[in-house]
Chains A and B, each alone.
Chain A
Amino acid sequence: MIRLEKRPNPSRLWTGLTPILAVLLTMVVGGFMFALLGKPPLEAIRTIFWDPLFHPQFAGYSRPQLLVKAGPLILIAIGLSVGFRAGIWNIGAEGQYIMGAVCGAAVGLAFYPAETVLLFPLMVIAGALGGWAWAMIPAFLKTRFGTNEILVSLMLVYVAENILASASAGWLRNPEGMGFPGSRNFKQWASVYNDELVINTGMHWGVVAAFIAVIAAYVLMARHIQGFNIRLTGEAPRAAKFSGVSPARIIFLCLGISGALAGMAGLFEVTGPAGQISIDFGSGYGFTAIIVAFLGRLNPFGILLAGLLMALTYIGGELAQLMLGLPGASIQLFQGMLLFFLLATDVFTNYRIRLTGREVA
């Protein structure tokens, strides 16, 4: 008989090991999946995980992409992890990301074609506020009426997508775009373009913000009283209440942080890699960031590594699509499997496996 015995404390060793184990398992099962699709499994795995960084021909292009993709993932995941620690499930980061981009872009375009250094910071603030405001809707409804934040935040993703569609086809459309949907291109507007800070690194302001967020989140969670309150609320809600932590404040704080960070990520994306508000701007970063947050064990530095790894699968997936004709959707499945295997192997973190003799009924 196999029996699970709850550990008094989560195993630190397994906390670090499970992500690695999950990645290995995903590689093995993903390899089988690729073989089923008639693609060479080892080559596919190598194309996804190795070639983007070290391929003599492609690495020059794809290496900078690593930070470009990892930036928004890390920024959003850091925000989500704060809420997840408190047991607050904001799964609508995609919507907050879109609203941040729309609000920030709208504020910027209101000043077109002004050239001033003040404009970009103003847009960043507007983006953060847009994401924050969008996250305040589930926060307010939860604290005021007890409405489930999971469902509300998710529903708001679809609402945000429709707002994005109307912005790109209507009120933010480029007046000189000959009637095509999509806003003005920020890449052609010097004081607003979120360009690479160091050439050929992929490092733009969003990546800088992501690194700052990692450090800030570490300080908040490990050193600050609010971080302690957040963790306490997640692990022992009753104890938190008795010690005077207001659940409503924690909800507003957590959803606010994650909304603002997701909104900022959207703004950095729209002024940088994406370049404009367009109907297909929402690229699913908000959902993938959920995987990043868990894969990083809700730990800021873990999220940094997980974000880089997930960015690697994005770039590797594109490369595999190009070189091996691997369907684009297989990478989405690959990422989902990663989360699944992580959750499965997590049993070792919280439980001890005991082999016992046959139990007497």
Chain B
Amino acid sequence: MDPVLLVASIMVSATPILLAAIGEMVVEKSGVLNLGVEGMMIVGAVMGFAIAVTTGSPVLGFLGAAVASAVLSLSFGLLTQYLLSNQVATGLGLTLVGLGLSALIGSNYEGQRAPSLAKLDIPGLGGIPVLGPMLFAHDFVVYLSLALVAAVWAFLKYTRAGLILRAVGEDHESAHALGYKVVRVRMLAIAFGGACAGLGGAYVSLVRVPQWTEGMTAGAGWIALAIVVFASWRPLGVLIGAYLFGGVSVIQLNLQAAGTTVPVELLSMSPYLITIIVLVIISARGAHGAPGSLGRPFHAAS
């Protein structure tokens, strides 16, 4: 297997999960556990695909996917933040709604092909031997996802707004007492997480496959949730986790294509098995770093 092609395909395979996971990390940093990532991703996948096919522009598809999933995520926000519903149950509900909604919208688009997304030609860098085709011959979304990781890192570490977001996530009572708008911060974080999941979903249907099939995200949203835990809520960890996972799925697919003696089913279940193993290792190590108010409902008594 050509190592250049291998690294390039790992980057493509990791991008959807990276996008979804970095969004979810921000949501969890604000103290909200949104288990609806899978639902938001699949809605992003179908909306991105539908818009791209209709308009012929993949860029519009990505934009539409981000907006659609952000709107969907706000329904989760409305329920958990204003109507104080249980976050676990509501997140599950969001996934079920998303799966149904996407299947409904997508039924007209099955079997069609998405317009292809142009590779970004970076002048100078693309010409470097080996490294050029490996790292610098991707579409803009791959770079956007990497930039997003850096931006989230800088935002949480260096900006005042990032500090407020972390404060709200660590201890919402204290943040509220200091006068920060807990619910508003969380709604913004939820919408950001939704938009990221939507982008990730659209990347699956527009670039990685590129087709629409029902349930095509196949648990990528859940894996994104696992990666946030694996990353101990740090952006760099999210990047490493997503690329590790991308690597596993690419190698597994290549082995399937090469026709090894290992049963196909064992190979296809390997990403999920490895996710479990990684989760176990992380939890056994005991280093958690979960935000203090994660998953707890906030109801201002005064």
Let me know if A163 is at the binding interface, CB within 8 A: yes
Q: How far is the CA of A147 from the CA of B275 in the complex (A)?
A: 11
CB-based nearest A residue for B38: A154
Let me know if A238 is at the binding interface, CB within 8 A: no
Q: Are B104 and A329 in contact (CB under 8 A)?
A: yes
Enumerate chain B residues within 8 angstroms of A350, measured Cβ to Cβ: 84
Let me know if A244 is at the binding interface, CB within 8 A: no
Enumerate chain B residues within 8 angstroms of A330, measured Cβ to Cβ: 100, 104
Choose one: A150, A327, A340; the contact of B88 (CB below 8 Å). Answer: A150
Let me know if A141 is at the binding interface, CB within 8 A: yes
Let me know if B89 is at the binding interface, CB within 8 A: yes
Q: How far is the CB of B41 from chain A (nearest CB, A)?
A: 14
Q: Which residue, A6, A328, A332, has most C-beta atoms of chain B within 10 A?
A: A332
CB-based nearest A residue for B108: A327
Let me know if A155 is at the binding interface, CB within 8 A: yes
| Size of the chain B interface, CB-CB below 8 angstroms | 47
Q: Are A151 and B100 in contact (CB under 8 A)?
A: no
Q: Are A340 and B79 in contact (CB under 8 A)?
A: yes
Q: Are A336 and B84 in contact (CB under 8 A)?
A: no
Q: Are B279 and A343 in contact (CB under 8 A)?
A: no
Q: How far is the CA of A89 from the CA of B279 in the complex (A)?
A: 16
Map CB proximity to A onto B25-45 as digits: 1 under 8 Å, 0 otherwise: 000000000010000000000
Q: Are B96 and A154 in contact (CB under 8 A)?
A: no
Q: Which parts of B257-301 form the interface with A (CB within 8 Å)? A: 263-266, 268-269, 272-273, 275-276, 279-280, 283-284, 286, 299
Map CB proximity to A onto B157-187 as digits: 1 under 8 Å, 0 otherwise: 0000000000000000000000000000000
Whether A340 contacts B272 in the complex (CB less than 8 A), given A291-B96, A335-B96, comes out as: no
Q: Which parts of A260-312 form the interface with B (CB within 8 Å)? A: 287, 290-291, 294
Map CB proximity to B onto A154-189 as digits: 1 under 8 Å, 0 otherwise: 111011001101100010000000000000000000
Enumerate chain B residues within 8 angstroms of A329, measured Cβ to Cβ: 100, 103-104, 107, 214
Whether A159 contacts B97 in the complex (CB less than 8 A), given A148-B283, A290-B92, comes out as: no
Let me know if A248 is at the binding interface, CB within 8 A: no
Let me know if B90 is at the binding interface, CB within 8 A: yes
Q: Are B99 and A158 in contact (CB under 8 A)?
A: no
Let me know if B67 is at the binding interface, CB within 8 A: no
Q: Are B96 and A287 in contact (CB under 8 A)?
A: yes
Let me know if A344 is at the binding interface, CB within 8 A: yes
* A interface majority secondary structure: helix
Q: Which parts of A318-361 form the interface with B (CB within 8 Å)? A: 327-337, 339-340, 343-344, 346-347, 350-351
Q: Are B75 and A340 in contact (CB under 8 A)?
A: yes
Whether A336 contacts B96 in the complex (CB less than 8 A), given A150-B35, A155-B275, A344-B83, comes out as: yes
Q: Tally of A-B residue pairs with Cβ under 8 A?
A: 133
Let me know if B222 is at the binding interface, CB within 8 A: yes
Q: How far is the CB of B66 from chain A (nearest CB, A)?
A: 21
Let me know if B112 is at the binding interface, CB within 8 A: no
Q: Which parts of B14-63 form the interface with A (CB within 8 Å)? A: 35
Enumerate chain B residues within 8 angstroms of A6, measured Cβ to Cβ: 299
Q: Are B97 and A344 in contact (CB under 8 A)?
A: no
Let me know if A145 is at the binding interface, CB within 8 A: yes
Let me know if A38 is at the binding interface, CB within 8 A: no
Interface residues on A, range: 35 or more
Q: How far is the CA of A334 from the CA of B99 in the complex (A)?
A: 11
Q: How far is the CB of B173 from chain A (nearest CB, A)?
A: 15
Q: Are B90 and A343 in contact (CB under 8 A)?
A: yes
Q: Are A162 and B266 in contact (CB under 8 A)?
A: yes
Let me know if A8 is at the binding interface, CB within 8 A: no
Q: Are B299 and A4 in contact (CB under 8 A)?
A: yes
Let me know if A109 is at the binding interface, CB within 8 A: no
Map CB proximity to B onto A138-154 as digits: 1 under 8 Å, 0 otherwise: 00010001111011101
CB-based nearest B residue for A140: B280
Q: Are B225 and A151 in contact (CB under 8 A)?
A: yes
Q: How far is the CA of A244 from the CA of B226 in the complex (A)?
A: 32
Q: Are B97 and A337 in contact (CB under 8 A)?
A: yes
Whether A343 contacts B93 in the complex (CB less than 8 A), given A150-B35, A151-B222, A155-B226, comes out as: yes
| Selected A-B contacts with CB under 8 Å, 12 pairs | A147-B279, A147-B280, A148-B279, A155-B226, A155-B272, A158-B218, A162-B266, A294-B89, A327-B103, A332-B104, A346-B85, A351-B84
Minimum-distance CB pairs A-B, first 10: A333-B100, A329-B103, A332-B100, A336-B97, A336-B96, A166-B265, A162-B269, A343-B85, A162-B265, A339-B93
| B residues with CB within 8 A of A | 35, 75, 78-79, 83-86, 88-90, 92-94, 96-101, 103-104, 107, 214, 218-219, 222-223, 225-226, 229, 263-266, 268-269, 272-273, 275-276, 279-280, 283-284, 286, 299
